[in-house]
Structure 1
Amino acid sequence: MTDPGRRRHPALLPIAALLVLLAAFASLGFGAVSIAPARVIAALTGQGDWIARTIVIDLRVPRMVVGLLVGAMLGLAGAVLQGYLRNPLAEPSVLGASNAAALGAVAALYFGLSEAHVVVLPLLAIAGSLGSLLLLFTLAGRSDSSLTMILAGIAVSTLTGAGISLALNLSPNPFAAMEIMNWLLGSIENRSVEHIWIALPCILIGMALLLVDGHALDALSLGDDAARSLGFDLRMTRLRILLGTAIGVGGAVAVSGAIGFVGLIVPHIVRPLTDRTPSAILLPSMIGGAALLTFADVLVRLVPTTNELKLGVVTAFLGVPVFLVHLLRERRLW
């Protein structure tokens, strides 16, 4: 077994934790109205002027917490899926979880159900993610092959993507289509404490399920047969990973919209600072995902535009260099 103390660079986790703290504090201080650090601290401690307290406590703290939760979930899910599928470009959308959650939310917007109560849209997003899990199991059958899971995930993702396109095509008016598009672009703007309580249980359950199988992921890097010979139950491993991804990502997408590429970017940033075993990157990817998404959310507030940029647009641009690096690496191998 690898010495746990040598699996990661000793500074990796402290630096990742420091980045999370910096991102959280920046999220509280920057926005349409910038607030000095001293005023932020005073507002957090219940002192200072009421304007700063209102902005920080009522508006920015929920947004910051949602950003940290969603980023941590997406970063962890990406690291787990890259290890399980042995695919460096894997992320939650590979299994169709993100698209299915988005389809559930789009259905709430399309049929006007989201106007009934604020929890209806997130609940349908989570239901869509769990529905994709059932469909994935049906398509994959009893196979433990990662290739079968990827192909089944592509089928689920394509099907749910077609459903989203159909809803946009048949939207009853341009305002409904615009609302759907805005949600699909992803954002954590105007989030409240209610959104935190909606996402938190799903994200905690998802994280707990995904963090269990670190050693199984290490064994799978040697191949399915080697993992079985070491005593790992691959079917139970698959069940936990799929449930964790569906529940956790469903809860995250439910409150943030469709935000991609975080699960792709973070593991690749973290991996060079570890021994490259899948289990070694899980915790750093979770912390790094929280920092990356929160910093990206600060960036969308600072860019001078008429309308605030959507978070999903920024993370998509951040994902492009990762694809290019892998493209160039593969070209050298041809």
Structure 2
Amino acid sequence: MTSSNTPEHIKHLARKWQEGTITNAEKQTFEAWYDSFDAIYEMKGTETREQAWERLYQNIIKKANITAGRNRTFKMWGGWLTAAAALALVFLGIYFFNTFRYQGASRRQLTSASADVLPGKNSATITLGDGRKIELSHAKNGVVIGRHNFAYSDGTPLESLSQEQKNTMLTANTPRGGTYQIVLPDGTKVWLNAESSLQFPARFNDKTREVKLSGEAYFEVAHNRTKPFKVSSKGQEVLVLGTHFNINGYDAGGVTKTTLLEGAVKITGNKDNQVLRPGQQGILEATGKINVAPANIADAIAWKNGYFIFDEETLESVMYKVARWYDLEVEYEDAEIKKQVFGGSISRYENVSKVFYMLEKAGNVKFRLEGRKVIVNKS
């Protein structure tokens, strides 16, 4: 193990990955360390899946210098992982099973290449106050709204704002299968998930900074004690001064989830209000009550970091996320299959066939693609 890959350094990178603060260079270091493990599904000889997980665990604790006991089991993707490995994963503060690897030549092909669906990409539009829409480049990943114009995050100029446009509202929209980063006039960074929209002024006034969100977004709010930042989203208002948080307010979910990573926010609903501290999640129920609970940070911001993480979720919940990112229509031939529970993680940048393959490996489910429609049934 090189000096840069000491146990202390790897644990530090794992924490940064979970918190969403890891840099691209650090991520490459961490992934290279993880990639040195044997592939989970490359089971040797007559080895069972339980034995494969045990081998993975032994590799983890050997490389990370972890000591953990064995006293219970942990269910993951329909298989069983020893508690010692689970404790190792928790100790490192990350899902080490974030990439499922298998040999393409030996695996069963779910669909033909022509029937497969590519993952989502950078895609968004900005609607100006006069109704004109500007398509943002797929080759860019962010746009910066300046005082007099806006440009891509790499500095490429995009649009000048007239004096009249500076006093209007702008709307950024991502389609199904699209994501984009928006830097607002005050320097606040916003990452929009697929099928989301953010309405904001071309220039904030002297007293407040107010935006309106539909869907899901991750915010890194520029600190300004004299100008509070407010986010209105599906029956609630979130008030902050400077902080990092995620809001998930998709209509299909039935609730609005606000997850705080750094700073403090106050959530106000129609009937309740709560203050969140770092590591907490506020869940606005349909009744108007806001429940506060410890947050699974890695789960909440997985989409921003390029992953699906399914934490004991029903197939219906899993497919909401998958369908939105791959722009699919879902049809269930057996309604009961929706209740089947899954857990695990995989990159959002795999073709959809790989996601379906892993789900099929995990449970009693099968998928059939017909264009942009996926038909789900029991296997």
More strand by share: 2
Whichever of the two has the greater Rg, that structure is 2
More helix by share: 1
After TM superposition, the score normalised by the length of structure 2 is 0.24
After TM superposition, the score normalised by the length of structure 1 is 0.26
